[in-house]
Structure 1
Amino acid sequence: MFLPRQPKRGAILSILRRFGATLAIMALTSVLGLQTAQAKPIAASIVVDAETGEVLSRSNADAVTYPASLTKMMTLYLLFDALDAGTVKLSDRITFSKNAASEPATNMNVKAGDTITVETAILAMVVRSANDVSTAVGERLGGTEAAFARMMTAKARALGMNKTVFRNAHGLPNPSQVTSARDMATLGVALLRDHPKYYGYFKRNSFVYRGNTYGGHNRVMKKFAGADGIKTGYIRAAGFNLVSSAERNGRRLVGVVLGGPSAPIRDKQMVALLTEGFNARNGIGDVLMAKAPGSAGPAQEVPVVTTAAAPEIDAVVASTLVPTPKPAQEDSIGSAIATMASVSLAPAVAQPDTQAVANVWSGDKNQYGIQVGAYSKFKPAQKAAERATKAVPTLLADTRIVIDRGNSSIYRARVFGLSKADADTACKKLKAKQTDCLVVKADSSIAQTAQ
């Protein structure tokens, strides 16, 4: 009987080396539960009673996905910790480094060396979802943004957020920055429980900076009676995310929707879930989390993570996500694969996510926008876009303003998140009001966003 010749050990190792990177990537995505070319964001939700921790409803609540700008909730939590500890004051000024000032939209369009008060920084993160401000806050509290991200992850563990890893302060794409709906609900409850005196900031839907009025993205506060925060988030790989808190008749709920196909649909899902939650008398037999050690009580009881301790924290974080491989046997093909995979499972360097280019806001059909002028300065461009949204509110109320500079010195006032038909109609209405208008299609030149 003919038997095929078995490949020699050296040939096997050569093949493994050739395809080692691919195998390692497959191992990583298997561990994280994420696909390398995820065509569709993971949809997940959870609603909990903020007082008892009872889960009232959940769907895919423990699936691992990307937080997007929900990340800023943890940045704010640690900033509130610092305010309680007295290491910063609301009136202190935070300076933008070159690194912070260079963060892409959504941002405050600052320059390196500019300063902002801590209170304005809070509002910029809550309302504007400003990435440059988030980085500046992280650098102020952690020394570097990378060190601050380790502090964020350590705090997540202390709060019981066992599936969350942070790599930056803002939520722009990083393949190893992950979370779950349950973890985000845990963080929402922690903000309410541990920092009630600062929670009022999440109710704000606008603020003024340098004479410009910036509006927020949280429409649920207008659509659901009792809703008063917390945070929206979007990158394309994550979809449209939202954590909301609402109170009715002395009962407070926290809801999370991740992976929404559009901002309006995400908001409708949240309204439906909160409505169902307030109508429910009992939970489903699940509790949000175990009591988090040291998460409540005086600020000094919360473990402080220093920069020096950061490498150890990273090892702890990695151990919670990646199973410790069995001792390798030198002549085992399986151990060779495991060894290659373990090398590639080191913390990933932040890379732009090609799926996260903000050319989709309300589903694939809404890739269009309008341009209402081009200006030599940011401020008039921002005001022109704001005037346009107010002039045609029926079409532009849920759109997103983008002041697109591209590689030129001209600021283009644009509003995105429309279908082609709605963009055409909006331009006709604006032109009837003597406002120049041009229909544009979103493309890769539009800045990444984590709103």
Structure 2
Amino acid sequence: MRFTSPTRPRFQRLTILSGTLSALLLGGTVAAGAAEYAGIVMDAKTGQTLYSHQADSLRYPASLTKMMTLYITFEAMKAGKIGKNTQIPMSAHCSRRPPTKIGIRPGGSIRVEPAILSLVTKSANDVSCALGEYFAGSEARFGKVMTAKARGLGMSKTVFRNPHGLPDSKQVTTARDMARLGIALREHFPEYYDYFATRSFSYGKARYGNHNKLLGHVRGVDGIKTGYTRASGFNLVSSVKADGRSIVAVVMGGRTGASRNAQMKKLIAGYLSKASRQGSGNLIARAAPAGVQYGMTIASIDPSDLPLPMRNPAFRQPEAITRSNAVVAVAAAPQLPPAPVSAYAPVAPRPQQIVASHTPPEPVARIDTIKTSSTVPGAGQWVVQVASVGSPQQANSMIASMQQKASSLLAKRQGFTVPFVKDGTEYHRVRFAGFDGKSDAWSVCKGLKRQKIACYAVQQ
């Protein structure tokens, strides 16, 4: 793969031409060449996309997966469920994960803080596996927890199947989703974010250097994570702060670590100066940690912890993340080419972009009659969504329940639902209206979160 400066018009013309030819030749399937490189640069203060190339096409995350494993670990620490010295047991299964790894023997354990450092620097697969088992009982169940968390953070196309990123054809993401996760880590866990700037750490008799070679060599870079498998290519998410500006940049699909790093340097040089010095930086809704039972049992996820639960009849919901009064969804994985049998197998085909499974549903013209006032909010108005459920009856019950539980915030608001169809099944978004603009809606949503009711504000 040859990286070209994104600021040159020639690059843009070649990109457009390449995408057009690929679409004509392959009938909408992402061509291998077109899928090799995906990138995005986001202003971390305003959320503006400063640069984008194939940012919404599906990619294999490889070890970028560990960003979500760390997100959930930080969340547990912040909630007081675990501490830096909590011991994470190592099972025989996790000890057999292929390199890179620390090499803890079955029956041994590792404290949380060195576990974090092993993921940040060495990208240890055995430790990632152990964290997944500790929080959810198994890697597969932890993958469901991770996917649910991704939905709560607005990562609409990401599906996780394991905590480390070793090859799985159904574990996919996009450059845009990884940028959102990078920003969420910075916003939600400033007290732990400095871990990503660790250049090296020692464990036992070994010393491990960080795979992110931009740390200490590119001004302003303070993390976040590298990733590589043969199927994914070389990936990198970088956080940069300098001159009062802040960006998160993503490069996915590099042919070599050197070419990936060179492209990231070009993106930083070309777009950091275009970022704003203004903005609150509060861009990603914070998923409430309450309701998650951490420990050596299956994680129990409170449905109120997920702003966008959805149900897929073809997907069997685990008891650990369902309740009778709400349906929590973990999106079904797209059908992709088979994954390589190991991280070092020959290059596998790139993921196909499956539009039907991943694009948001088209707006539905009608609105359910479930409402608490005589008018329905019009286009452009700000509303607060608290859930998506499977029937009008559930929606009606949830509206009444929410208005009773958070009467000071919602009693005088207009409850209504918006139906939509996904995979042939109708669902109902539960929303409240009657806000004086964006700031009012955001303020109410923050109040709901303090009452352990997850939500997000959106403009109709």
1:194 corresponds to which of 185, 188, 194: 188
2:72 alignment counterpart: 78
2:13 alignment counterpart: none
AA in 2 matched with 1:279: S
1:31 deviates by 12
**Aligned pair 1:216/2:221, yes or no?**
no
1:357 corresponds to which of 340, 344, 353: 344
2:319 corresponds to which of 308, 333, 346: 308
With over 3 angstroms needed to count, the CA separation of the structure-2 counterparts of 1:110 and 1:352, relative to structure 1, is farther
For residues 363-398 of structure 1, the C-alpha deviation after alignment (integer angstroms, 9 at most, x for no partner) is: xxxxxxxxxxxxxxxxxxxxxxxxxxxxxxxxxxxx
| Higher normalized helix content (fraction of residues) | 1
1:107 alignment counterpart: 101
1:180 corresponds to which of 174, 178, 182: 174
CA contact (8 A) 2:129 2:139 kept: yes
CA contact (8 A) 1:236 1:358 kept: yes
With over 3 angstroms needed to count, the CA separation of the structure-2 counterparts of 1:179 and 1:90, relative to structure 1, is same
1:87 corresponds to which of 64, 81, 98: 81
Provide the C-alpha distance between the structure 1 equivalents of 2:263 and 2:80, rounded to a whole number of angstroms: 39
Q: What TM-score comes out, normalization by structure 1 length?
A: 0.60
1:43 corresponds to which of 14, 17, 37: 37
1:355 deviates by 7.7
Provide the C-alpha distance between the structure 1 equivalents of 2:267 and 2:44, rounded to a whole number of angstroms: 15
Provide the C-alpha distance between the structure 2 equivalents of 1:256 and 1:291, rounded to a whole number of angstroms: 17
2:229 alignment counterpart: 235
Provide the C-alpha distance between the structure 1 equivalents of 2:171 and 2:193, rounded to a whole number of angstroms: 25
For residues 389-410 of structure 1, the C-alpha deviation after alignment (integer angstroms, 9 at most, x for no partner) is: xxxxxxxxxxxxxxxxxxxxxx
Structure 2: segments with no counterpart, 5+ residues: 1-25, 294-299, 303-317, 348-460
1:252 alignment counterpart: 246
In angstroms, what is the RMSD of aligned CA positions? 3.2
Name the count of aligned residue pairs: 296
For residues 75-126 of structure 1, the C-alpha deviation after alignment (integer angstroms, 9 at most, x for no partner) is: 0000001001111111111110111111000011221011110000000000
AA in 1 matched with 2:154: G
With over 3 angstroms needed to count, the CA separation of the structure-2 counterparts of 1:261 and 1:195, relative to structure 1, is same
1:300 deviates by 3.0
1:167 alignment counterpart: 161
Q: Secondary structure at the match of 1:317?
A: coil
1:356 deviates by 3.8
AA in 2 matched with 1:317: A
For residues 36-82 of structure 1, the C-alpha deviation after alignment (integer angstroms, 9 at most, x for no partner) is: xx588531000111121111111110010100000000000000010
1:317 corresponds to which of 304, 328, 331: 331
2:122 corresponds to which of 114, 122, 128: 128
CA contact (8 A) 1:70 1:242 kept: yes
1:117 alignment counterpart: 111
Alignment of 1:250-289 (within 5 A): 250-280=244-274
CA contact (8 A) 2:86 2:111 kept: yes
Identity of aligned residues (%): 44
Greater CA radius of gyration, 1 or 2?
A: 1
CA contact (8 A) 1:56 1:282 kept: no
CA contact (8 A) 2:66 2:163 kept: yes
1:249 deviates by 1.6
AA in 2 matched with 1:305: I
With over 3 angstroms needed to count, the CA separation of the structure-2 counterparts of 1:31 and 1:212, relative to structure 1, is farther
**Aligned pair 1:204/2:198, yes or no?**
yes
Q: Secondary structure at the match of 1:300?
A: coil
Structure 1: segments with no counterpart, 5+ residues: 1-29, 323-344, 361-451
With over 3 angstroms needed to count, the CA separation of the structure-2 counterparts of 1:56 and 1:86, relative to structure 1, is same
Alignment of 1:60-75 (within 5 A): 60-75=54-69
AA in 2 matched with 1:42: E
AA in 1 matched with 2:118: A
AA in 2 matched with 1:61: A
Q: What TM-score comes out, normalization by structure 2 length?
A: 0.59
1:376 alignment counterpart: none
CA contact (8 A) 1:92 1:118 kept: yes
CA contact (8 A) 1:207 1:213 kept: yes
1:144 deviates by 1.2
For residues 172-196 of structure 1, the C-alpha deviation after alignment (integer angstroms, 9 at most, x for no partner) is: 0000000000000000000000011
With over 3 angstroms needed to count, the CA separation of the structure-2 counterparts of 1:32 and 1:139, relative to structure 1, is farther
1:280 deviates by 1.6
1:441 alignment counterpart: none
Provide the C-alpha distance between the structure 1 equivalents of 2:117 and 2:340, rounded to a whole number of angstroms: 27
1:216 deviates by 1.4
Provide the C-alpha distance between the structure 1 equivalents of 2:33 and 2:130, rounded to a whole number of angstroms: 33
Provide the C-alpha distance between the structure 2 equivalents of 1:352 and 1:113, rounded to a whole number of angstroms: 30
With over 3 angstroms needed to count, the CA separation of the structure-2 counterparts of 1:31 and 1:189, relative to structure 1, is farther
CA contact (8 A) 2:180 2:284 kept: no
CA contact (8 A) 2:250 2:264 kept: yes
